[in-house]
Structure 1
Amino acid sequence: MVARVKKKRKAMKISQKALAEQSGVSYASIRRFESTGEISLVSLLKIAHALHCLKDFEELFKGSSITNLKDFEG
């Protein structure tokens, strides 16, 4: 996932600092994500939105009927 995000950012000719400004995710968090893969889901979604690839996440949850944790555990 990290490689795809980094490739997309570079293809759009966006620096890490510019992505931080556009996404609202700190520059340090973006640097850490690209070097270690660690990031919160909220921050990842913000980055995906800034890179115009939020639909990739929508596909993951398409048709999901889970509405609470008990549904998930069952």
Structure 2
Amino acid sequence: MFSEFKFPKEIAKDIALQEKRKRKRRKLTQAELSERAGISLASLKRFEQTGEISFVSLIKIADILGEKEAFGKLFTSKEYQSIQEVIDERNQ
């Protein structure tokens, strides 16, 4: 899915593609999703085409699609005290 070697724009486009697929699986049109999320249709269309959207709007979309909890996991990765901790964890 995501690679540490991808550029931010590529990651944004990947997220937009995942959103679009989930929207379609739920049989929602762009107009329906934008209305439910409280964002403009133009913003949703731009997001699906380019990956560009405000962070707040992305959270609103994620909420409607049942993915809001993923945002709570951002920046919560374990902080290591030494390189040895990293090595030990990867070897488990």
Q: Which structure has the larger Rg over C-alpha atoms?
A: 2
| One of 56, 62, 85 as aligned partner of 1:48 | 62
Paired residue for 2:34? 20
Paired residue for 2:25? 11
What percent identity do the matched residue pairs reach?
Answer: 48
Could you list the structure 1 runs, at least 4 aligned residues long, displaced by more than 2 angstroms after superposition.
Answer: none
Distance (whole Å) between structure 1 residues aligned to residue 74 and residue 55 of structure 2: 13
Distance (whole Å) between structure 2 residues aligned to residue 10 and residue 40 of structure 1: 21
SS in structure 2 opposite 1:25? coil
SS in structure 1 opposite 2:46? helix
Deviations 1:13-34 (A, max 9, x none): 1100000110001000000000
Task: Compute the TM-score of the two structures, normalised by the length of structure 2.
Answer: 0.64
SS in structure 2 opposite 1:52? coil
Paired residue for 2:73? 59
Task: Compute the TM-score of the two structures, normalised by the length of structure 1.
Answer: 0.79
Distance (whole Å) between structure 1 residues aligned to residue 75 and residue 31 of structure 2: 30
Unaligned runs of 5+ in 1: 64-74
Matches of residues 26-45 of structure 1 in structure 2 within 5 Å?
Answer: 26-45=40-59
